[in-house]
Amino acid sequence: MGDAIVNAGFNVVLSATNHTFDKGLYGINSTIKYWKENYPEITLLGVHENKEDYDSINIIEKNNIKIAMFNYTYGLNGFSLPKEEYYKVNLLSDKEKFLNDLHKAEKLADISICFVHIGEEYRYTPTSYQKDYIESLIDAGADIVICAHPHVIEPVEDVITKNGNRGLVYYSLGNFVSGQTEVDRNLGGLASIEIIKDKNGTRVSAYDFVPVVTHRTGTDISVYLLADYTNNLAKKHSVQGMSIEKLCSLYKEITGLNVDYILDMENPHGENYYKDILKTNKIKDFSIYQNIPYIELENNHYILARDANIRVVLDENIDKNYYSEEDNTVYIKK
């Protein structure tokens, strides 16, 4: 799992969740040891090897911007940390420390991001406790608050507190990878945030909430941007009732945002439209651009393989590119 996380491009790992103590101190210490020994360049948040680490503030620098990062959880599934090792996990109950560290970070960093494990499972809106706690974080200096735990997405808001302080809040990103069996628990989101630093200071200049879908057929699991997902894929999903329409409706219902850039992959031209094109035009090549597969024809036209519901096979043993109507497959010499 750790290798996969790193290979996917993540460079910050959050470990403070309600499951952090499920395997006791052994689990926490093993987690810390794994990242320290195998990927020391990865920033691990939420758990600590010792009190010195607990008392420090994690700051990374990117493009001359110093970013302070915090990761806290509401609890540990009923477990309690040993009194002598209270520092092992960041808990929201230690609010005074959390707020004090945010105040300190204002002098040490350009911007502060809080990753908070909070909220009520399977609820589409934040709880009053969640909103109140987040406002206190913003008042203490948090610029961005990103939450998880509900297993479903919740809204994103540009929050102005009663004290007039401002912060960007993602109340829940939902599941990025899901093994759950309900449609809404297979819809997650990515927080896309642009931060700029100039003579006027450091601030969020743009943000988006990008929906993603966990696609699961049996034991095979993958993640798609909702913009890239298709009804043909949805029909094969292990979860009953999965469809583009349902996912888009949920996303709009919960966030108030539209998914107007989604392409409907049902063929609007009739089922033989693309087959006729492929039979009457020479196939030049096959390429992938921004995760979208294209079949390139000799007349400089392109077909989206997913629109035509066509398989593409790369085969170095064939003499030329061709389309087989029998198995609806384009064979590309590679």
- Whether residue 293 is found in the same domain as residue 224: no
Question: Are residues 220 and 286 both part of a single domain?
Answer: no
Q: Are residues 146 and 292 in the same domain?
A: no
Region of 199 (left: φ > 0; alpha: ψ -120 to 50; beta: rest) is alpha
CATH code of residue 212: 3.60.21
Query: Distances from the Cα of 21 to the Cαs of 115, 119, 147, 179, in angstroms?
Result: 18, 19, 19, 21
> Is the same domain home to 11 and 105?
yes
Quote the pLDDT of residue 219. Answer: 87
Which of 255, 287, 311 is the last residue before a domain boundary? Answer: 255
Does 262 map to a domain?
no
Q: Is 296 helix (H, G, I), strand (E, B) or coil?
A: strand
296 shares a domain with 155:
no
Distances (CA, A) of 59 to 43, 69, 325: 9, 6, 57
225 and 297 in a common domain? no
**What is the chain's pLDDT, residue by residue, as a tens digit (334 residues)?**
899 999 999 999 999 999 999 999 999 999 999 999 999 999 999 999 999 999 999 999 999 999 999 999 999 999 999 999 999 999 999 999 999 999 999 999 999 999 999 999 999 999 999 999 999 999 999 999 999 999 999 999 999 999 999 999 999 999 999 999 999 999 999 999 999 999 999 999 999 999 999 999 988 999 999 888 888 899 999 999 998 889 988 998 999 886 643 333 344 455 566 777 788 888 888 776 555 567 778 766 666 655 556 778 878 789 899 888 888 888 888 7
| Domain end position, chosen among 195, 223, 255 | 255
308 and 220 together in one domain: no
| 155 and 287 fall within a common domain | no
Q: What is the pLDDT, as a whole number, of residue 261?
A: 37
**What's the domain range around 230?**
2-255
What is the domain count for the chain? 2
The answer to the question of residue 132 being in a domain is yes
Rounded to whole angstroms, the Cα distance separating 178 from 279 reads 40
pLDDT of residue 277: 77
Specify whether 247 is located in the same domain as 293: no
Tell me: do 281 and 251 sit in the same domain: no
- 264 domain residue, yes or no: no
**pLDDT score of 285:** 83
The verdict on residue 260 lying in a domain is no
Q: Give the end of a domain, one of 199, 223, 255.
A: 255
Report d(CA 35, CA 90) in Å as an integer.
18
DSSP string spanning 211-242?
Answer: EEEEEEETTEEEEEEGGG--HHHHHH-SSTT-
The answer, as to whether pTM is greater than 0.75, is yes
Strand residues in 106-177 grouped as ranges (E): 111-117, 144-148, 156-160, 166-170
Same domain, 40 and 165: yes
Domain membership flag for residue 62: yes
Residue 36 belongs to a domain: yes
Name every residue whose Cβ is closer than 8 Å to that of residue 306 and which is 6 or more positions away in sequence: 230, 232, 265, 292, 293
266 occurs within a structural domain = no
CA distances (Å), 251 to each of 123, 126, 155, 174, in order? 13, 15, 9, 11
302 in the same domain as 221: no
Task: Tell me if 250 is assigned to some domain.
Answer: yes
Whole-angstrom distance, CA of residue 70 vs CA of residue 108: 14
From CA 135, how far away is CA 116, in angstroms rounded? 13
